[in-house]
Structure 1
Amino acid sequence: MININELKQLYEIDDYLWLEETIKLLKTKDLHNLDINNLIEELESLGKNNLNKVRSLLRQIIIHLLLLQYWQQEYDRNYRHWQGELIAFRDDLSNSLTTTLKNKLIEELENIYSVALKIVIQKTGLSSNLFPDKCPYSLEQLLNDNWYP
């Protein structure tokens, strides 16, 4: 079995092998040899990655709903594509969402909307005056596979 000093060195060389060895230590309840500092760092990173993933998916949902609702010039040519993207993004988000992450999205909805709006304005060339200042969609609507504006 690997000791704590070897495990710390392994983290710098091969983080995947470090992960495998850490899992073995946890499964055998060999807590004495755990590289706690790097384990904490990895768990924090995992949490940030999960939050960033659901933020990104929600942003994509908002972008595509805004395109559907406001970009009339491209609607006939693209609405089926945008709806298809919405199906995929909503499915990915529902598979990644936990209660805690959902609450974080509720807290950050206006910020996520703000970024999505900037992207849509840049992409379409539409005037910012055309869009609401605050997110016009509830989280329930954003997550609902059958809801479109």
Structure 2
Amino acid sequence: MTNLYHTDLHEWANRQAQLLRSGRLDQADIELIAEEIESMGNNELRELEDRLAVLFSHLLKWRFQPGQRSRHWELTIKEERRRLRRHLARNPSLQQHLAQAREEAYGDAILEAASETGLAEHSFPEGCPFTPEQTLDDQWWPT
């Protein structure tokens, strides 16, 4: 069964689901099932970090290039805020990882903002200047 995991993940997953549903745990690949479940949780954390990075990069561009503000930036900020709120609502346990996710995402955001604006990386604050409340507040815009 482990070989099938490496050659056809879709088929392996379907077989494992059948085994679990029928109560045949002795035939299920418990260790790999556990790894896949952990991987799913890690994907949710990565999604949080990715969404925060996109939002932070646009908030940085908004703040540091006011003359370049566009409808596209505005809509991206609004969209990412909505998606973040929804993601956190669907995964409330991610709140306990939010501080670390914000730190990781902000580092990525600096690189993205520097790449898109042409500004040097050191032009941006070293630490995230946006509070968690500001990050998700549709009424708040950096100046």
**TM-score of Structure 1 vs Structure 2, range by shorter chain:** 0.7 to 0.9
Which residue among 54, 63, 70 is the counterpart of 1:60?
A: 54
Runs of 4+ in structure 1 over 6 Å off? none
Structure 1 position 127, deviation (Å)? 4.0
Where 1:115 maps in the other structure, the secondary structure is helix
Please list the CA deviations of residues 76-128 of structure 1 after superposition, one character each: whole Å capped at 9, or x if unmatched. xx1x2111112222222222222322221212323321221122122212244
Root-mean-square deviation over aligned CA pairs:
1.9
Structure 1, gaps ≥5 residues long: 1-6
Where 2:126 maps in the other structure, the secondary structure is coil
Residues 9 and 114 (structure 1 numbering): CA distance in 2 closer, same or farther, change over 3 Å? closer
Residues 129 and 15 (structure 1 numbering): CA distance in 2 closer, same or farther, change over 3 Å? closer
Which residue among 11, 22, 32 is the counterpart of 1:38?
A: 32
Aligned to 1:3: none
- Comparing 126-135 with 30-39, greater Cα deviation is found at 126-135
TM-score normalised over the length of structure 2: 0.84
Aligned to 1:131: 124
In 2, distance between residues paired with 1:144 and 1:31? 47
Aligned to 1:89: 80
In 2, distance between residues paired with 1:106 and 1:130? 23
Question: Which protein is bigger by CA-based radius of gyration?
Answer: 1
